[in-house]
Amino acid sequence: MSSKEKPTLGGTRIKTRKRNIAAPLDPAAFADAVVQIYLDNAGDLELVAKSLESSDLNFSRYGDTFFEVVFTGGRTQPGTSKPDEGERHQYSVLDCEPKREAILPSVLYIQKILRRRPFLIKNLENVLKKFLQSLELFEENERKKLAICTALTFSQKLSGLPPETVMHPLLKDNLVAKGLVLSFITDFFRAYLIDNSLDDLISLLKRGKMEDNLLDFFPTAKRSAEAFSEHLPRKDW
C-alpha cells in the first residue's frame, strides 16, 4: 500500500454527504405544455380544465407562468407584459371581446382550476398585481378586458383573492396622472355592478380599504366632488 493512500476497512462503504439537488427551473417548457393543451382542445375551456387536471404539470412551481398563459396566451417577458418567446394560443382573456359575456367563461374556468388547486390563488394575485402595475404597456382595449375580468373575479367570489390586490397596485403616480387608472376603475365598477348591488361594491371597497379614497384614482387636477359626480353620475351607480 502506498504511503499516500489512506487505509480503509474491508467491505465498508464510504458515505458521502447527501445534497438536495433541485430540478432546474424551466417555465418555458411548462408554458409550451399548457399552450399545447389549449391548442389540442381548440380552446374548449371545459376540456382544457380536464386535460390540465389529468396532467403531471408542476403547477406549484410554475403557477405564475400558468396565469400568464391564461391571460395573454403565452409567457410574458420578466417584469413586463410583453410576449416572450415560445408557443402561444389564441384563446386567452386578452383575445376575448371586451364584453362580460365573452370573458365570463374564462373566469369560471379559473374558478374551476382554483377549486382543484387552491394554492394557485397566490399566483393569480401575483400576475394580476404585475399587470395592473403595468397598465401603460397594454392597449386601451386590453385594459378594458383586464378590468372586466378582474371585476368578474370578485363578482364570482373567487376564494381568497384580496380586494387590496387590485386597488392598491393601481395607485402608481404615473398611471393615475395619465388617467389610465380612472379608465380602468370605471370599467371595473360598471362590470361589477352588472351582477352586484351598490352596497356590494361599497363592501368590496371597504375590504380593499378604499371606500374613503376614491378620488385617489383621479388625476390630481380632477380630484373634486364635482369631477367625481360628472365622471360617475348617480345613474351609473
b/e map of 136-155 (b: 16 or more CB within 10 Å)? eebeeebbbbbbbbbbbbbb
And the C-alpha cell for 198?
351598490
Beta bridge pairs of residue 83: 76
From CA 106, how far away is CA 85, in angstroms rounded?
A: 24
- Confidence class of residue 196 from pLDDT cuts 50, 70 and 90? very high
Residue 16 scores a pLDDT above 50:
no
- Confidence class of residue 210 from pLDDT cuts 50, 70 and 90? confident
Residue 8 scores a pLDDT above 60:
no
* Contact indicator for 74, 83 with CB cutoff of 8 Å: yes
- Confidence class of residue 235 from pLDDT cuts 50, 70 and 90? low
Query: What is the average pLDDT value for the chain, to the nearest integer?
Result: 86
And the C-alpha cell for 129?
398585481
Residue 71 scores a pLDDT above 50:
yes
Lowest mean pLDDT among 99-103, 110-114, 133-137, 233-237: 233-237
Specify the pTM: 0.84
Residue with the bigger pLDDT between 1 and 44: it is 44
Q: Which residues contact 79 (CB under 8 A, 6 or more apart)?
A: none
DSSP 83: B
Q: Which helix (H) or strand (E) holds 103?
A: helix 100-116
From CA 183, how far away is CA 170, in angstroms rounded?
A: 11
Beta bridge pairs of residue 76: 83
